[in-house]
């Protein structure tokens, strides 16, 4: 389901609930659905979605009633969401469920950190020193029914692994597994015992009506998290805004392979582009600089990203994708720019915040698949 569609569906709920008192949610077009106020103790609102078979506007019969799939809850201003929390993604609009949280270091170049703050530094080329703050992210499952409707704005195969054999370029992906920041979680509850459709849902979670939330981790989820921890955990998140376009980068170390009598180190990186303004812009080019500890500096230029030139608008303000990079050294750095085009044909460059490519000290055998 698209973020624009999500706003329309919740708008319908809002129109029905205004008589009950101040609404818990308001619509902020540039950022999707956002919570209203700090506590939000007002009446909870129903989360309404259309019947899946009627998503196409061309064949949607008139007068169809929206399906109620749950009830919105007040977002947590402090603390974290627990395993089993159902949510709607505030930017991409998909339904999901929290598997477990990660604690990351967020290096936000838009926020000046106090000098006295006890934190770590992020090294960057030609960039100011930035202090890292602890921030909560979540490993989540995306509802498979929503994946086709967000595929143009968010890759649903955000997690990839090196295959466990000699071909160093072989990768496999886990569809519908994503990383979500705490502020992007719009929590809701449901009485459905299987509210999320994903092949891993019933492997990882089970229903327990005595718990809140009523979906608890199975032993298989705990074992999977422990086994794949080195390739799942995010440690650093980098963020910077230029001309109202915010770029967020999350790098992940994937492991080392031997190729032609040398070691090749692999990383994946997830990038989210967000238009914080109302002006429509389109990504046209990318320009990367990749520095390796071996002393090499590589320049990469190309059209768009992952074969696309996404448009960021008020209705669809964000785009997310993942890619991969390899070095013949155990560490390095990446930075660069994205070139965007305005409706009048003018261009401007958006900075990609510099981020480190660091290998894990304790090298382990990469996972070979989802088997127990």
Question: Would you state the pLDDT for residue 68?
Answer: 78
314, with CB counted inside 10 A (0-12, 13-18, 19+), is middle
- Measured distance CA(50)–CA(197) in Å, rounded: 16
Residue 103, both tokens: 């604690």
Task: Note the pLDDT tens digit of each residue in 45-104.
Answer: 676 665 544 334 444 445 556 677 889 999 998 899 999 999 999 999 899 999 999 999
Q: Which helix (H) or strand (E) holds 277?
A: none
- Strand 177-181 to 130-142 pairing: antiparallel
Residue 140, both tokens: 């989540």
Residue 107, both tokens: 């290096």
DSSP 58-89: TTPPTTPPPEEEEEE-PPPSSS-PPTT-EEEE
Q: What number of other Cβ atoms are within 10 A of residue 136's Cβ?
A: 18
Phi, psi angles (nearest 5°) of residue 187: -75, 145
DSSP 171-228: EEEETTEEEEEGGGEEEEE-S-SS-S--TTHHHHEEE-TTSSSSEEE-HHHHHHHHHT
All residue ranges of the chain with pLDDT < 50 are: 1, 9-43, 52-61, 113-126, 168, 364, 366-372
Least Cα distance to 6 among 27, 36, 23, 22 occurs for: 27
- Measured distance CA(125)–CA(335) in Å, rounded: 8
Question: Would you state the pLDDT for residue 369?
Answer: 44
Question: Would you state the pLDDT for residue 106?
Answer: 95
- Measured distance CA(333)–CA(290) in Å, rounded: 6
Domains of the chain: 65-111+132-234 (no CATH), 242-365 (2.60.40.1470)
Question: Would you state the pLDDT for residue 153?
Answer: 84
- Measured distance CA(235)–CA(107) in Å, rounded: 11
- Measured distance CA(244)–CA(125) in Å, rounded: 22
């Amino acid at each position: 389901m698209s973020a624009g569609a999500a706003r329309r569906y919740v708008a319908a709920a809002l129109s029905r609930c205004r008589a009950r008192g101040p609404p818990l949610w308001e619509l902020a077009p540039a950022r999707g659905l956002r919570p209203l106020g700090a506590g939000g103790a007002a009446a909870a609102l129903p989360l309404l979605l259309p019947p899946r078979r009627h998503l196409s506007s061309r064949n949607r019969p008139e007068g169809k009633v929206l399906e109620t799939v749950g009830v919105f809850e007040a977002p947590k201003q402090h603390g974290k969401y627990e395993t089993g929390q159902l949510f709607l993604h505030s930017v991409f609009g998909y339904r999901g469920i929290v598997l477990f949280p990660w604690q990351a270091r967020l290096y936000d170049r838009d926020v000046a950190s106090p000098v006295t703050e006890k934190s770590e530094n992020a090294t960057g080329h030609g960039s100011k020193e930035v202090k890292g703050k602890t921030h909560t992210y979540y490993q989540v499952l995306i509802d498979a029914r929503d994946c086709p409707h967000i595929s143009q704005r968010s890759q649903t195969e955000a997690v990839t692994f090196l295959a466990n054999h000699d071909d160093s370029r072989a990768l496999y992906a886990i569809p519908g597994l994503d990383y979500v920041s705490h502020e992007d979680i719009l929590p809701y509850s449901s009485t459905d015992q299987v509210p999320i459709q994903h092949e891993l849902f019933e492997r990882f979670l089970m229903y327990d009506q005595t718990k809140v939330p009523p979906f608890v981790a199975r032993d298989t989820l705990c074992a999977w998290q422990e086994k794949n921890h080195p390739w799942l955990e995010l440690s650093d998140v980098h963020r910077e805004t230029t001309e109202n376009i915010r770029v967020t980068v999350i790098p992940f170390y994937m492991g080392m392979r031997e190729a032609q009598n040398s070691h090749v180190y692999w990383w994946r990186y997830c990038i989210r582009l967000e238009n914080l303004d109302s002006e429509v812009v389109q990504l046209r080019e990318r320009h990367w600089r990749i520095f390796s500890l071996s002393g090499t500096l590589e320049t990469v230029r190309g059209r768009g990203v992952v074969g696309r030139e996404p448009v960021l608008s008020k209705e669809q303000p964000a785009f997310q994708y993942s890619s991969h990079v390899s070095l013949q050294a155990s560490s390095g750095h990446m930075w660069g720019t994205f070139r965007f085009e305005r409706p009048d044909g003018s261009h401007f460059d958006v900075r990609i915040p510099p981020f480190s490519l660091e290998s894990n000290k304790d090298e382990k055998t990469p996972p070979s698949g989802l088997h127990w």
